[in-house]
Amino acid sequence: MKKVLFLMIALAAAAFGAEEAVVNETLKAYSMIAAGVGLGLAALGGAIGMGSTAAATIAGTARNPGLGGKLMTTMFIALAMIEAQVIYTLVIALIALYANPYLAA
């Protein structure tokens, strides 16, 4: 814990002592890392959600084939909502990359 605290203080001192151009470049680099990690996590979560949705729909159709059409409709709505969350993450990542509000003008 002491090492983490020391590292945070050292990085804060370097950030406050850096010139504006260095800070801007550092923020751009961290924005790229954050965008990549965020998109990766969103895609992972979306894939897990879509897989479990499809598995539940297949299991429900296997149990009661007469409800297959209703289950498919519900599944497509659920998949659209899951995919919308991933698209929202993409939009936020693009904002962080190209219209970063934290960069000095």
Tens of pLDDT, residue by residue over 34-45, are: 888 889 999 999
Domain count, the chain: 1
Q: Is 94 among the domain residues?
A: yes
Structural tokens at position 58: 């297949």
Judged on CB neighbours under 10 Å (0-12, 13-18, 19+), 40 is: exposed
Residue 94 belongs to domain spanning: 25-98
Q: What is the mean pLDDT of residues 92-99?
A: 84
- 7-11, 48-52, 94-98, range with greatest mean pLDDT: 48-52
Give pLDDT, residue 16: 67
Mean pLDDT check: name the lowest of 23-27, 83-87, 91-95.
Answer: 23-27
Q: Is 63 among the domain residues?
A: yes
What single-letter amino acid sits at 28?
K
Distance CA 46, CA 85 (A): 8
Q: Is 59 among the domain residues?
A: yes
Give pLDDT, residue 47: 94
Give pLDDT, residue 105: 55
Q: What are phi and psi of 99, to 5 degrees?
A: -130, 50
Contact between residue 79 and residue 50 where contact means Cβ atoms under 8 Å apart: yes
